[in-house]
Structure 1
Amino acid sequence: MAGTVLGVGAGVFILALLWVSVLLLCVLLSRASRMARFSVIFILLGALIITSVLLLFPRASEFPAPEVEVKIVDAFFIGRYVLLAFLSAVFLGGLFLVLTHHVLQPIYAKPLRSY
């Protein structure tokens, strides 16, 4: 499964980018004048056509190539946990500093009215 992220290929990300941009464009055009609002219909139809073309004409073959057994070895196992421990310590230290700054924030007295 080369070229996949989180178990999905590039096509899913292309479709997600397409629909996010179409929805953003539709939201922006919803505040436009009367005639520009109707272009939302054409944008949605265009996105539907592009989506159907991308779904109906896949580039990958239906039958995957025979897989060769690959032994996966994590060579950076210890370094990853050292990095995780360091980042956790920095996060907890920063959280402690923010909370002490929040708790120790001075409260100023309101001025009295003097006539």
Structure 2
Amino acid sequence: MAGTVLGVGAGVFILALLWVLVLLLGVLLSRASGIARFSVVFVFLTAVIITAVLLFFPRASEFPAPGVEMKIVDTFFIGRYVLLAFLSAVFLGSLFLVLMYHVLEPVCAKPLRSY
């Protein structure tokens, strides 16, 4: 997979950069006064249109070229199971703590009435 960084292509980084710039421009324009303050709406709509165009009209094909053999390899197999084991241990530990505090919650005695 040529042209990928961290398993994603350049399009994801372009979209992320676009929305970071829109966010920064939106914050800057929201501090402005007068009619410039309402231009945030146009900046947002322009970003939505650019995002829609980039998502609906991609340059690359979804399917590999015919005749090219594609081998799918799970390179993060061991890491995924280590993460699953860690998350399971944290879940069971937190469940134990919650149940321990639920079961061992002190019950205060009610005062007796004396007539």
If the length of structure 2 is used for normalisation, what is the TM-score? 0.57
Q: Residue 87 of structure 2 aligns with which residue?
A: none
Task: For 2:27 and 2:36, locate their aligned partners in 1 and report how far apart those are by CA, in whole Å.
Answer: 12
CA RMSD of aligned residues (A): 1.3
For structure 1, list consecutive stretches of 5 or more residues without a partner in the other structure: 70-115
User: Tell me, which stretches of 5 or more residues in structure 2 are unaligned?
Assistant: 72-115
Could you say which residue in structure 1 is the equivalent of 2:57?
A: 57
Identical-residue share of aligned pairs (%): 80
Per-residue CA deviations over 1:24-81 (Å, capped at 9, x if unaligned) read 0000011101211100000000000000000000111121132467xxxxxxxxxxxx
Residue in 1 aligned with 2:10? 10
Q: Which residue of 1 aligns with 2:41?
A: 41
**Normalised by the size of structure 1, how large is the TM-score?**
0.57
Which whole-Å CA distance do the structure 1 matches of 2:57 and 2:31 have between them?
36
Instruction: Name the CA distance, whole Å, in 1 between partners of 2:70 and 2:13.
Output: 27
Number of aligned residues: 69
Query: Which letter does structure 2 place at the counterpart of 1:17?
Result: L
* Runs of 4+ with deviation above 4 angstroms: none
SS in 1 for 2:17: helix
